[in-house]
Amino acid sequence: MSEPWIVDGQYLGELEVVDGVAVAFDPQSGRVLRAVNAAGEDVPTDQFEVQQGDRMGELLERLDALEQRAAQPRPTAPSWEQAEAVNRRAGEAFVDELESAEKIRGHAFTRSETTKLVERGRQDHHNGKRADVYEAWARAEAEGDHLHDLETHAGRTAWMAERLADGERDARGQGHDEPDPPSRELYDLDNRVERQAYLLDRMNDRADASSTFSSRELAANAVDDWEESTE
């Protein structure tokens, strides 16, 4: 490696030691400007011309290589179409794996179970990982977001009830992200069955107080109106 050769504030060229001789050369042309031995005596420069010329040739070759690398096109980010194609292939592979998992399980996944798996698979894909159904399933269980345990009577009963509800959703063309409609338009709070249906729909944001009425109150008002009309 060369370094500037400066004597009494004067730049003599780039300094390099060759066989114990300090050689100053022009960094652009490679021409040897001065050579001094260890005793401080000037040495003829012609013996270094070929060596320095070879060195400049190597430097020029390196510069050419750097220029060629700089001229090469840089890799670009994938286009929107390419990204969409990657996402579509990942989604199709995940669906295929879902169907395979259902066959191994022996029962189809419910809508809510599918949503749990798809959400975690999508997270993995966005984080640069392969979307894997079994990895998503294991993570859901570890996070307490359990799928139905078909090894127990309670689990099979809950799964069957949800599958029946999913069938009704499919029949009315309800999307996975759409909330269930209310079980009825109006709820009689004096009727035990309707009151329970209202509370369930209210918990799931499918109904509010404007959908309720009291049959006893309506009956009492009707009696009052009849009595007033007969006086």
Domain boundary among 171, 198, 214: 171
| Structural domain that includes position 144 | 83-171
Q: Do 142 and 209 have their domain in common?
A: no
Average pLDDT score over the chain:
77
Band of residue 51 on the pLDDT scale cut at 50, 70, 90: very low
CA dist 187 and 207 (Å) reads 9
Does the residue 120 lie in any domain?
Answer: yes
Q: Is 122 found in the same domain as 91?
A: yes
For residues 14 and 25, the answer to whether their CB atoms sit within 8 Å is yes
Predicted structure pTM score = 0.48
Q: If you compute the radius of gyration of the chain from its CA atoms, what whole number of angstroms results?
A: 42
- List Cβ neighbours of 94 (8 Å cut-off, separation of 6 or more): 118, 121, 131, 133
Same structural domain for residues 97 and 44?
A: no
Q: What is the pLDDT of residues 127-146, one digit of tens each?
A: 888 889 999 999 999 999 99
Same domain, 90 and 155: yes
By DSSP bridging, strand 32-36 and strand 3-7 are unpaired
Determine, yes or no, domain membership for 37. Answer: yes
Q: Of 63, 47, 36, 52, which Cα lies nearest the Cα of 2?
A: 52
Whether 63 is covered by a domain: the verdict is yes
According to DSSP, residue 108 is labeled P
**Total domain count, the chain:** 3
